[in-house]
Amino acid sequence: MTPTLTPPATQHQIEAFPNGSFSVRNTELNECMHSTIGPWVEAQEIYLAQSNLLHCLATASQVPHAAPWVIYDVGLGIAANSLAVLEHLGQSQTASASPWIDRVSPQIEMMSFETDLDGIKRALQRPELFPFLERNQEIVKTLLEQGVWTGQLASGIHFHWELKLGDFRTQLAQCPKADLIFFDLYSPKSLPELWSYQTFQLLAEKCHQPKNSLDLRETTLITYSASTAVRAALLLNGFYVGKGKSTAGKKETTLANTRKTSLANPLSKDWLDHWQRSSQPLPRDLAEPFNPEEKEQISSKLSAIIRDQALSS
Protein backbone atom coordinates (compact mmCIF):
# COMPACT_ATOMS: atom_id res chain seq x y z
CA MET A 1 0.00 0.00 0.00
CA THR A 2 1.43 3.40 -0.95
CA PRO A 3 1.40 5.73 2.05
CA THR A 4 -0.55 8.93 1.70
CA LEU A 5 -0.51 11.96 3.91
CA THR A 6 -1.84 15.47 3.78
CA PRO A 7 0.84 17.92 2.63
CA PRO A 8 3.56 18.56 5.23
CA ALA A 9 2.32 20.84 7.93
CA THR A 10 5.78 21.80 9.10
CA GLN A 11 9.17 22.76 7.78
CA HIS A 12 12.45 21.20 8.77
CA GLN A 13 16.02 22.31 8.49
CA ILE A 14 19.27 20.46 9.01
CA GLU A 15 21.27 21.51 12.05
CA ALA A 16 24.93 20.87 12.86
CA PHE A 17 25.94 19.92 16.41
CA PRO A 18 29.32 20.77 18.01
CA ASN A 19 30.38 17.09 18.06
CA GLY A 20 30.16 16.94 14.26
CA SER A 21 26.82 15.15 14.05
CA PHE A 22 23.66 16.52 12.43
CA SER A 23 20.01 16.56 13.34
CA VAL A 24 16.82 18.03 11.90
CA ARG A 25 15.03 20.97 13.47
CA ASN A 26 11.28 21.39 13.30
CA THR A 27 11.09 25.14 12.71
CA GLU A 28 7.46 25.41 13.72
CA LEU A 29 8.13 23.97 17.19
CA ASN A 30 11.70 25.28 17.13
CA GLU A 31 12.89 21.94 18.44
CA CYS A 32 15.53 19.52 17.15
CA MET A 33 14.63 15.88 16.79
CA HIS A 34 17.69 14.84 18.82
CA SER A 35 19.83 15.98 21.71
CA THR A 36 23.29 17.33 20.97
CA ILE A 37 24.90 13.89 21.22
CA GLY A 38 23.38 13.36 17.77
CA PRO A 39 20.83 10.92 16.39
CA TRP A 40 23.01 7.85 16.07
CA VAL A 41 24.63 8.01 19.53
CA GLU A 42 21.24 8.77 21.05
CA ALA A 43 19.70 5.78 19.27
CA GLN A 44 22.50 3.50 20.46
CA GLU A 45 22.74 4.73 24.05
CA ILE A 46 19.17 5.54 25.02
CA TYR A 47 17.14 3.15 22.91
CA LEU A 48 19.14 0.18 21.65
CA ALA A 49 21.47 -0.39 24.62
CA GLN A 50 18.63 -0.11 27.14
CA SER A 51 16.27 -2.39 25.24
CA ASN A 52 18.22 -5.59 25.94
CA LEU A 53 16.80 -6.54 22.60
CA LEU A 54 18.38 -9.92 21.93
CA HIS A 55 17.80 -11.20 25.43
CA CYS A 56 14.10 -10.25 25.31
CA LEU A 57 13.70 -11.69 21.84
CA ALA A 58 15.38 -14.94 22.89
CA THR A 59 13.08 -15.25 25.92
CA ALA A 60 9.90 -14.60 23.96
CA SER A 61 11.02 -17.00 21.21
CA GLN A 62 11.16 -19.95 23.60
CA VAL A 63 7.48 -20.58 22.93
CA PRO A 64 7.03 -22.74 19.82
CA HIS A 65 5.36 -20.80 16.97
CA ALA A 66 5.58 -17.57 18.95
CA ALA A 67 3.84 -14.61 17.32
CA PRO A 68 6.21 -12.03 15.79
CA TRP A 69 8.04 -9.80 18.24
CA VAL A 70 6.64 -6.29 17.85
CA ILE A 71 8.42 -2.95 18.19
CA TYR A 72 6.61 0.39 18.17
CA ASP A 73 8.88 3.17 16.95
CA VAL A 74 6.99 6.32 18.02
CA GLY A 75 7.94 8.56 15.94
CA LEU A 76 10.06 7.63 13.01
CA GLY A 77 11.79 11.04 12.70
CA ILE A 78 14.89 10.42 10.58
CA ALA A 79 14.85 6.71 11.44
CA ALA A 80 17.90 6.66 13.72
CA ASN A 81 16.23 4.45 16.34
CA SER A 82 14.66 2.09 13.84
CA LEU A 83 17.84 1.71 11.79
CA ALA A 84 19.83 1.10 14.98
CA VAL A 85 17.55 -1.89 15.62
CA LEU A 86 17.71 -3.09 12.03
CA GLU A 87 21.50 -2.89 11.86
CA HIS A 88 22.01 -4.46 15.30
CA LEU A 89 19.79 -7.42 14.49
CA GLY A 90 21.29 -7.81 11.04
CA GLN A 91 24.93 -8.05 12.09
CA SER A 92 26.61 -11.36 11.50
CA GLN A 93 28.10 -11.16 15.04
CA THR A 94 24.51 -11.16 16.30
CA ALA A 95 23.95 -14.49 14.58
CA SER A 96 27.16 -16.09 15.80
CA ALA A 97 26.55 -14.90 19.38
CA SER A 98 22.96 -16.15 19.29
CA PRO A 99 22.81 -19.70 17.87
CA TRP A 100 19.13 -19.91 18.91
CA ILE A 101 18.27 -17.59 16.00
CA ASP A 102 18.96 -20.40 13.56
CA ARG A 103 16.75 -22.77 15.52
CA VAL A 104 13.67 -20.57 15.97
CA SER A 105 13.86 -18.16 12.97
CA PRO A 106 12.45 -15.23 14.94
CA GLN A 107 10.23 -12.68 13.25
CA ILE A 108 10.28 -8.99 14.06
CA GLU A 109 7.56 -6.53 13.15
CA MET A 110 8.54 -2.91 13.60
CA MET A 111 5.84 -0.24 13.27
CA SER A 112 7.19 3.26 12.76
CA PHE A 113 4.61 5.96 13.46
CA GLU A 114 4.94 9.34 11.81
CA THR A 115 2.70 12.30 11.02
CA ASP A 116 5.10 14.27 8.85
CA LEU A 117 7.69 12.87 6.43
CA ASP A 118 9.13 16.29 5.65
CA GLY A 119 11.95 15.81 8.19
CA ILE A 120 13.25 12.51 6.85
CA LYS A 121 12.88 13.71 3.26
CA ARG A 122 15.01 16.72 4.13
CA ALA A 123 17.68 14.47 5.68
CA LEU A 124 17.63 12.18 2.64
CA GLN A 125 18.56 15.17 0.47
CA ARG A 126 21.93 15.26 2.33
CA PRO A 127 22.58 11.58 3.11
CA GLU A 128 26.32 12.21 3.57
CA LEU A 129 25.46 14.06 6.82
CA PHE A 130 23.54 11.08 8.16
CA PRO A 131 25.71 7.98 7.58
CA PHE A 132 23.09 5.59 9.03
CA LEU A 133 20.61 6.84 6.41
CA GLU A 134 23.20 6.76 3.67
CA ARG A 135 24.05 3.11 4.40
CA ASN A 136 20.37 2.13 4.39
CA GLN A 137 19.02 4.48 1.72
CA GLU A 138 17.41 1.80 -0.41
CA ILE A 139 15.58 0.26 2.54
CA VAL A 140 14.37 3.64 3.80
CA LYS A 141 13.22 4.74 0.35
CA THR A 142 11.25 1.51 -0.05
CA LEU A 143 9.64 2.11 3.34
CA LEU A 144 8.67 5.67 2.43
CA GLU A 145 7.42 4.81 -1.05
CA GLN A 146 5.66 1.53 -0.36
CA GLY A 147 4.87 1.83 3.34
CA VAL A 148 6.66 -1.42 4.07
CA TRP A 149 10.05 -3.11 3.83
CA THR A 150 10.44 -6.82 4.40
CA GLY A 151 13.64 -8.82 4.35
CA GLN A 152 15.63 -11.61 5.88
CA LEU A 153 18.62 -10.15 7.73
CA ALA A 154 22.10 -11.67 7.52
CA SER A 155 21.53 -13.02 11.03
CA GLY A 156 18.55 -15.07 9.80
CA ILE A 157 15.94 -12.88 11.50
CA HIS A 158 12.86 -12.10 9.41
CA PHE A 159 12.21 -8.37 9.56
CA HIS A 160 8.98 -6.66 8.58
CA TRP A 161 9.06 -2.86 8.84
CA GLU A 162 5.86 -0.88 8.40
CA LEU A 163 5.32 2.85 8.17
CA LYS A 164 2.18 3.92 10.01
CA LEU A 165 1.34 7.36 8.72
CA GLY A 166 -0.78 9.56 10.95
CA ASP A 167 -1.18 10.19 14.64
CA PHE A 168 -0.03 7.05 16.44
CA ARG A 169 -2.93 7.36 18.88
CA THR A 170 -5.38 6.59 16.11
CA GLN A 171 -3.13 4.04 14.38
CA LEU A 172 -2.70 1.90 17.49
CA ALA A 173 -6.12 0.30 17.20
CA GLN A 174 -4.99 -1.78 14.18
CA CYS A 175 -1.63 -2.78 15.64
CA PRO A 176 -0.70 -6.01 17.41
CA LYS A 177 0.52 -5.83 21.00
CA ALA A 178 3.98 -4.39 21.47
CA ASP A 179 6.99 -6.07 23.06
CA LEU A 180 9.15 -2.95 22.92
CA ILE A 181 8.17 0.71 22.60
CA PHE A 182 10.54 3.52 21.75
CA PHE A 183 8.66 6.63 22.80
CA ASP A 184 10.58 9.43 21.14
CA LEU A 185 8.37 12.41 20.34
CA TYR A 186 9.04 16.12 20.60
CA SER A 187 9.23 17.22 24.21
CA PRO A 188 6.36 17.23 26.71
CA LYS A 189 6.82 20.99 26.88
CA SER A 190 6.18 21.42 23.13
CA LEU A 191 3.47 18.79 22.72
CA PRO A 192 2.00 17.96 26.17
CA GLU A 193 -1.05 16.27 24.64
CA LEU A 194 1.17 13.48 23.31
CA TRP A 195 2.55 12.76 26.79
CA SER A 196 -0.81 12.67 28.53
CA TYR A 197 -2.40 10.16 30.87
CA GLN A 198 -4.73 9.17 28.03
CA THR A 199 -1.86 8.54 25.64
CA PHE A 200 -0.15 6.16 28.03
CA GLN A 201 -3.49 4.53 28.72
CA LEU A 202 -3.80 3.77 24.99
CA LEU A 203 -0.27 2.34 24.98
CA ALA A 204 -0.88 0.30 28.14
CA GLU A 205 -3.78 -1.39 26.34
CA LYS A 206 -1.35 -2.52 23.63
CA CYS A 207 1.13 -4.10 26.03
CA HIS A 208 1.59 -7.66 27.24
CA GLN A 209 0.47 -7.84 30.86
CA PRO A 210 2.38 -10.75 32.40
CA LYS A 211 0.31 -12.36 35.15
CA ASN A 212 3.14 -14.40 36.59
CA SER A 213 6.86 -14.88 36.20
CA LEU A 214 6.35 -17.77 33.77
CA ASP A 215 4.69 -15.54 31.17
CA LEU A 216 7.38 -14.96 28.59
CA ARG A 217 5.95 -11.80 27.04
CA GLU A 218 6.34 -8.48 28.73
CA THR A 219 6.59 -4.98 27.31
CA THR A 220 9.37 -2.45 27.81
CA LEU A 221 8.86 1.23 27.08
CA ILE A 222 11.89 3.50 26.73
CA THR A 223 11.82 7.26 26.56
CA TYR A 224 14.40 10.01 26.85
CA SER A 225 12.09 12.04 29.09
CA ALA A 226 12.55 11.94 32.85
CA SER A 227 9.66 14.34 33.45
CA THR A 228 7.85 13.83 36.74
CA ALA A 229 4.45 14.14 35.08
CA VAL A 230 5.35 11.57 32.40
CA ARG A 231 6.59 9.09 34.99
CA ALA A 232 3.43 9.64 37.06
CA ALA A 233 1.27 9.04 33.96
CA LEU A 234 3.11 5.76 33.28
CA LEU A 235 2.80 4.58 36.90
CA LEU A 236 -0.89 5.44 37.07
CA ASN A 237 -1.44 3.39 33.91
CA GLY A 238 0.01 0.24 35.43
CA PHE A 239 3.60 0.40 34.19
CA TYR A 240 6.42 -0.23 36.63
CA VAL A 241 8.81 2.64 36.15
CA GLY A 242 12.53 3.03 36.69
CA LYS A 243 15.40 5.35 36.02
CA GLY A 244 17.18 4.85 32.75
CA LYS A 245 20.81 5.66 32.11
CA SER A 246 22.15 9.15 31.85
CA THR A 247 23.72 10.29 28.62
CA ALA A 248 25.93 13.23 27.73
CA GLY A 249 22.78 15.23 27.14
CA LYS A 250 20.48 13.96 29.94
CA LYS A 251 20.86 13.26 33.63
CA GLU A 252 18.30 10.46 33.49
CA THR A 253 16.06 8.72 30.98
CA THR A 254 13.05 6.50 31.76
CA LEU A 255 12.45 2.77 31.45
CA ALA A 256 9.00 1.35 32.06
CA ASN A 257 7.98 -2.29 32.05
CA THR A 258 4.86 -4.37 32.49
CA ARG A 259 6.86 -6.78 34.68
CA LYS A 260 7.99 -5.49 38.05
CA THR A 261 11.06 -7.68 38.30
CA SER A 262 12.43 -6.53 34.93
CA LEU A 263 13.29 -3.06 36.20
CA ALA A 264 16.94 -2.64 37.12
CA ASN A 265 16.53 0.69 38.84
CA PRO A 266 12.91 1.22 40.00
CA LEU A 267 11.78 4.64 41.14
CA SER A 268 11.79 4.74 44.91
CA LYS A 269 10.77 6.88 47.87
CA ASP A 270 13.14 9.69 46.73
CA TRP A 271 11.12 10.07 43.57
CA LEU A 272 7.88 10.20 45.55
CA ASP A 273 9.29 12.99 47.71
CA HIS A 274 10.29 14.79 44.54
CA TRP A 275 6.78 14.24 43.15
CA GLN A 276 5.25 15.86 46.27
CA ARG A 277 7.39 18.96 45.77
CA SER A 278 7.03 19.16 41.99
CA SER A 279 5.25 22.17 40.51
CA GLN A 280 4.02 19.94 37.64
CA PRO A 281 3.41 16.55 39.19
CA LEU A 282 0.83 15.32 36.67
CA PRO A 283 0.17 15.43 32.94
CA ARG A 284 -2.23 18.17 31.94
CA ASP A 285 -5.19 15.90 31.38
CA LEU A 286 -5.06 14.82 35.05
CA ALA A 287 -3.97 18.12 36.47
CA GLU A 288 -7.15 20.02 35.76
CA PRO A 289 -9.25 20.26 37.82
CA PHE A 290 -6.87 19.37 40.61
CA ASN A 291 -7.68 20.08 44.23
CA PRO A 292 -5.82 19.10 47.44
CA GLU A 293 -8.16 16.15 48.02
CA GLU A 294 -7.49 14.75 44.54
CA LYS A 295 -3.77 15.27 44.99
CA GLU A 296 -3.94 13.30 48.23
CA GLN A 297 -5.73 10.41 46.51
CA ILE A 298 -3.22 10.27 43.68
CA SER A 299 -0.36 10.58 46.13
CA SER A 300 -1.62 7.55 48.09
CA LYS A 301 -1.98 5.58 44.88
CA LEU A 302 1.56 6.44 43.77
CA SER A 303 2.94 5.63 47.24
CA ALA A 304 1.39 2.17 47.07
CA ILE A 305 2.84 1.57 43.59
CA ILE A 306 6.31 2.78 44.57
CA ARG A 307 6.25 0.59 47.70
CA ASP A 308 5.21 -2.38 45.58
CA GLN A 309 8.01 -1.71 43.04
CA ALA A 310 10.58 -1.38 45.81
CA LEU A 311 9.67 -4.80 47.25
CA SER A 312 11.04 -6.59 44.23
CA SER A 313 14.22 -4.57 43.86
Q: Which of 102, 121, 130 is nearest to 15 (CA)?
A: 130
x-or-dash string of contact with ligand SAM, 43-82, rule CB under 6 A: x-------------------------------x-xxxxx-
Among the residue ranges 51-59, 183-191, 252-260, 305-313, the one whose residues contact ligand SAM (CB under 6 A): 183-191
Instruction: Kindly tell me which of 62 and 137 has the beta carbon lying closer to ligand SAM.
Output: 137
CA–CA separation, 36 vs 54, rounded Å?
A: 28
CB neighbours of 312 closer than 8 A, spacing ≥ 6? 260, 261, 263, 266
User: Could you say whether residue 167 binds ligand SAM (CB under 6 A)?
Assistant: yes
Instruction: Kindly tell me which of 122 and 295 has the beta carbon lying closer to ligand SAM.
Output: 122
CB of 170 to ligand SAM, least distance (A): 9
Q: Which long-range contacts (CB under 8 A, 24 or more apart) does 236-241 make?
A: 236/197, 236/286, 236/298, 236/301, 236/302, 236/305, 237/197, 237/200, 237/201, 237/203, 237/204, 238/204, 238/209, 239/200, 239/204, 239/207, 240/266, 240/305, 240/309, 241/266, 241/267, 241/309
User: Could you say whether residue 37 binds ligand SAM (CB under 6 A)?
Assistant: no
User: Could you say whether residue 229 binds ligand SAM (CB under 6 A)?
Assistant: no
Among the residue ranges 135-143, 144-152, 182-190, 225-233, the one whose residues contact ligand SAM (CB under 6 A): 182-190
On the question of a cis peptide bond just before residue 75, with omega within 30 degrees of 0, the verdict is yes
CA–CA separation, 189 vs 29, rounded Å?
A: 10
CB of 75 to ligand SAM, least distance (A): 2
CB of 5 to ligand SAM, least distance (A): 11
Cβ–Cβ < 8 Å for 256, 297? no
Instruction: Kindly tell me which of 10 and 105 has the beta carbon lying closer to ligand SAM.
Output: 10
Cβ–Cβ < 8 Å for 221, 257? yes
CA–CA separation, 291 vs 280, rounded Å?
A: 13
Q: Which long-range contacts (CB under 8 A, 24 or more apart) does 279-284 make?
A: 280/227, 280/228, 280/229, 281/228, 281/229, 281/232, 282/197, 282/229, 282/232, 282/233, 283/188, 283/192, 283/195, 283/196, 283/197, 283/229, 283/230, 283/232, 283/233, 284/192, 284/193, 284/196, 284/229
Instruction: Kindly tell me which of 114 and 162 has the beta carbon lying closer to ligand SAM.
Output: 114
User: Could you say whether residue 224 binds ligand SAM (CB under 6 A)?
Assistant: no
x-or-dash string of contact with ligand SAM, 235-274, rule CB under 6 A: ----------------------------------------
CB of 273 to ligand SAM, least distance (A): 30
User: Could you say whether residue 210 binds ligand SAM (CB under 6 A)?
Assistant: no
CB of 263 to ligand SAM, least distance (A): 23
Q: In the set 175, 194, 202, 272, which binds ligand SAM (CB under 6 A)?
A: 194
Instruction: Kindly tell me which of 87 and 267 has the beta carbon lying closer to ligand SAM.
Output: 87
CB of 190 to ligand SAM, least distance (A): 10
Q: Positive or negative CA dihedral for 199, 68, 144, 95?
A: positive
Among the residue ranges 50-58, 127-135, 180-188, 250-258, the one whose residues contact ligand SAM (CB under 6 A): 180-188
x-or-dash string of contact with ligand SAM, 116-145, rule CB under 6 A: x--x--------------------------
Please give the residue ranges that form the binding site for ligand SAM (CB under 6 A).
Answer: 33, 39, 43, 75, 77-81, 113-116, 119, 167-168, 184-186, 194
